[in-house]
Structure 1
Amino acid sequence: MTHNTKIDFIYLSEQDMIRAGVTDMPSCVDTMEEMFGLLYHGDYRMAGPNNDSHGAMVTFPEHSPFPTMPKPTADRRMMAMPAYLGGNFCTAGVKWYGSNIANRDKGLPRSILMFTLNDPDTGAPLAHMSANLLSAYRTGAIPGVGARHLARKDSRVIGLLGPGVMGKTSVAAFIAVCPQIDTIKIKARGQRSLDDFLTWIGVTFPQIVNVQVVDTLEEVVRGSDLVTYCSSGEVGDPNAYPIVKREWVKPGAFLAMPAACNIDAGMEQADVRKVVDNTGLYQAWFHELPKPAHHCVPVIGVRFMDMIAEGSLQPEQVEDIGKIIAGDAPGRLNDEEIILMSVGGMPVEDVAWGTVVYRNAIERGIGIKLNLWETPVLS
């Protein structure tokens, strides 16, 4: 019996990814919603003993005898994020990236990412693709999925901290699901990112007729129907993370936090609903990290885990968005309800969106075909 042992795969550059639809935010939101359904029903696997780990990270010591070893500067890490996703996707993959906030001084993104998509049966590569846009859009789409199910339908005002890449994609996702949005309030760290965002919003979403640049977190939050914090910074002291105070929050607001965030005692109260993208992800983080875990991973869902450990929050008070999407838990209960959602980021999201973009590329003849081998030398 003869076997066809030839393996080809495609390489997709960033421009190839754009041509294959990686920046189609409405489609990305729909894809992430489908992914959450599979997540809720268990048709997935990620790393770690509970199959919910964010990934495996390489970190660097403060003091090393090796002069060429990287120093642990801000946001310095290298990480692999593997996953399998079933359903209509039925693919596996891994995102690999290096991150260093000092990259910005070199004109580079903070993180440089690549994604490899694989056949889950043989492990053969299907595609190797540029993943900065892939990752940015799947991350931004998650607040959009949350807003579709948890924001007020008449939401008009977005409050945004951090108008960088994540800020842009989160705003795009909000607009994809809340068509009445016409106002954005923005707090930025630097003038360059602010100017770039303002140009982008004017060209991309002309329906935004009111853009306000504000100076404080209170101004970002107060009066906003949708709030998202998307700024990066030093990790370690939660008191230095951007905070949300209950007195600032409008009744009926939906807050989606894909970056560093802290909350005051008022926001910790039980009448503020607390939603996460996947409880297992935060449990895995909590298991892996020193305590309090929020000192190590700054997303607010990790604070929820610390609160459970402290006894100030009951486990059942942390809700999964997948359960809400599946209809096994209620969405927004009333127009006054305040809902806070944590967005941690998961490799199943990369697999889902990467699979859609790969299939688009194959259908449209996009990418460079590369040969792994005709017949393996060792088998």
Structure 2
Amino acid sequence: MKTLLLKKEEVRSLISMKEVISTVEEAYKAFNSNQVVQPDYIGIHLPPPRGEIDFKLSYYMANEVISMKASSGGFNDNPAVHGVPSGMGTILLFDGKSCALICVMDGSLITGLRTGAAGAVSVKLLARKNSRKVTSIGTGNQARMQIRAISEVMNIEEIHAWDNSPDTLAKFKADIEGEFGIPVSMASSKKTAVELADILITTTRGKGTLVEADWIKPGTHIVAIGTDQQGKQELDPEIFRHAKIVNDSTSQCAEKGETWHPLNAKIITYDDIHAEIGEILLGEKPGRENDEEITIFDSTGMAIQDNTTAEKIYRNALGNNVGSFFEFL
């Protein structure tokens, strides 16, 4: 059986952000419809100055595809020392009926795309309809992905951004204003930026509280992206006390996500978690119910998102004769 190989630029050409938002919505609904087999993902932290590598596996009954992704990040010395990016990814797709390997593709773009799309899905369901101001705490690649995705589902009028690196912050401002024409204000403090937010995005590798509870105004929607491993943290756990809490996967978020911190501090219990986002998409639970609610979407990232997105790219590649085939035998 032949296996399709898709390189990074080929992957980039084969899917749009709108399509990714759709594949992520499909993934969330599938997860909460008992159509997904998704073991707990495995993460390995390597000795400093190296970072971490995660392995995520899923089987989706509807498309009969098994996906496996290896994704690394935080290898900051890589460009200078090894001549490769600080974060990389590879996705393998297997036919669910035969377990034959049908595709090998670069996965570095997919992680960013589907994580950005996850934030956009949460904005559709949980942000106030009159939201116009976005604040980004952190201004790296994922912050850009969040803006690209969210701009597909709402009209962003202004962005307030904070980063502990002035150079990174200035580049974010130049890039976003150049790509979207949306004015970006470089905040002098996290507090100032957060207080202005209709939608707050956190995309750092923080290991402590970056956002305090008393900075959050009523009606804010928080997209918590950065915490996906034990030891990471971005939000004051007190924010959760009076918020509507939505997870991608509660089992993951309670173990490795931002939700772990208020659970561990006994600020909330499992009963205080409102829903998984797939339940809202399926109409089983409500999204935002009034303009005063503080809503939190805690996203740790799920293998089924990689599955549905990568399968769409694979089908697009076949339909457009993109990529090259090889055989192991």
User: TM-score, normalized by length of structure 1?
Assistant: 0.79
Could you say what the CA RMSD is over the residues aligned between the two structures, in angstroms?
A: 2.0
SS of the residue aligned with 1:149?
helix
Amino acid at match of 2:14: A
Which residue number corresponds to residue 150 of structure 2?
A: 174
Using a 3 Å threshold, how does the CA distance of structure 1 residues 192 and 339 change in structure 2: closer, same or farther?
A: same
Equivalent position amino acid for 2:179 in 1 = T
Alpha carbons of structure 1 residues 110 and 305: separation in structure 2 relative to 1, 3 Å: farther
CA distance in 1, matches of 2:177, 2:168: 14
- CA gap 1:192/1:359 in 2 versus in 1, 3 angstroms: farther
One of 199, 220, 242 as aligned partner of 1:253: 220
Which one has a bigger Cα radius of gyration? 1
**Using a 3 Å threshold, how does the CA distance of structure 1 residues 185 and 75 change in structure 2: closer, same or farther?**
farther
**Residues 263 and 269 in structure 2, CA contact (< 8 A), matched pair in contact too:** no
Q: Which residue of 1 aligns with 2:230?
A: none
Aligned partner of 1:315 in structure 2 is: 270
Distance 1:265 1:83 in 2: 31
SS at match of 1:116: strand
Contact 1:45 1:84 in 2 (8 A): yes
How is 1:239-250 mapped onto 2 (pairs within 5 angstroms)? 240-242=208-210, 244-250=211-217
Deviations 1:280-321, CA, capped at 9 Å, x for gaps: 2235xx3xxxxxxxxxx4x312224424xx3x3231211211
Structure 2 length as normaliser, TM-score? 0.91
Amino acid at match of 2:28: F
Equivalent-residue separation in structure 2 for 1:369 and 1:105 (angstroms): 29
Would you identify which runs of 4 or more consecutive aligned residues in structure 1 move more than 4 Å? none
Q: In structure 2, the residue corresponding to 1:177 is in which secondary structure? A: coil
Identity of aligned residues (%): 22
Whichever residue aligns with residue 2 of structure 2, its letter is D
Structure-to-structure mapping, 1:150-169, within 5 angstroms: 150-169=126-145
| Distance apart, 1:325 and its partner CA | 1.1
Does the CA-based 8 Å contact 1:83-1:351 persist in structure 2? yes
**Amino acid aligned to 2:162:** K
User: Where does residue 202 of structure 2 map in the other structure?
Assistant: 229
Distance 1:15 1:202 in 2: 24
**1:201 Cα deviation after fit:** 1.4
Query: Could you list the per-position Cα deviations for residues 78-124 of structure 1 after superposition, in whole angstroms to 9, with x for gaps in the alignment?
Result: 3321111232x331110113334323652743321111111011111
1:278 aligns with 2:249: yes
- 2:159 is aligned to 184
1:265: how far off? Answer: 5.8
Secondary structure at 2:90 match in 1: strand
Among 5, 18, 22, which residue is 1:11 paired with?
Answer: 5
Q: 1:38: Cα distance to partner? A: 0.6
Amino acid in structure 2 at the alignment position of 1:94: M
Secondary structure of the corresponding residue to residue 151 of structure 2: helix
Q: Structure 1 pair 127/56, CA: closer, same or farther in 2 (3 Å)?
A: same
SS in 2 for 1:224: coil
Give how far 1:59 is off.
4.0
- Report the counterpart of residue 96 of structure 1 in structure 2: 70
CA change 1:94–1:245 in 2 (3 A) is: same
Matching of residue 80 in structure 1 with residue 47 in structure 2 = no
Number of the residue aligned with 1:302: 260
List runs of 5+ in structure 1 lacking aligned partners: 1-6, 48-52, 61-71, 287-296, 374-379
Q: 1:368 aligns with which of 303, 324, 328?
A: 324
The alpha carbon displacement at 1:131 in A equals 0.8
Query: In structure 2, what is the Cα distance between the partners aligned to 1:104 and 1:164?
Result: 17
Q: 2:301 aligns with which of 327, 340, 345?
A: 345
Which residue of 2 is the match for residue 45 of structure 1?
Answer: 37
Confirm or deny: 8 A CA contact 1:301 1:343 kept in the other structure.
no
Q: Deviations over 1:308-348 (max 9, x none)?
A: xx3x3231211211111111111111011110111101111
Q: Deviations over 1:157-187 (max 9, x none)?
A: 0000111111011111211111x21100111
**Partner residue of 1:264?**
236
Kindly indicate whether residue 42 of structure 2 is the aligned counterpart of residue 56 of structure 1.
yes
Whether the aligned pair in 2 keeps the contact of 1:301 and 1:344 (CA below 8 Å) is no
Give the letter for the 1:170 counterpart: Q
Per the TM alignment, residue 12 of structure 1 is displaced from its structure 2 partner at its CA by: 0.7
In structure 2, C-alpha distance between the alignment counterparts of 1:12 and 1:205, rounded to whole Å: 29
1:10–1:126 CA contact under 8 A, matched in 2: yes
Shift of 1:39: 0.6
What secondary structure does 1:111 align onto?
coil
1:108/1:228 CA distance change after superposition, 3 Å: farther
Tell me, in whole angstroms, the C-alpha distance in 2 between the residues paired with 1:132 and 1:126.
19
- In structure 2, C-alpha distance between the alignment counterparts of 1:105 and 1:34, rounded to whole Å: 36
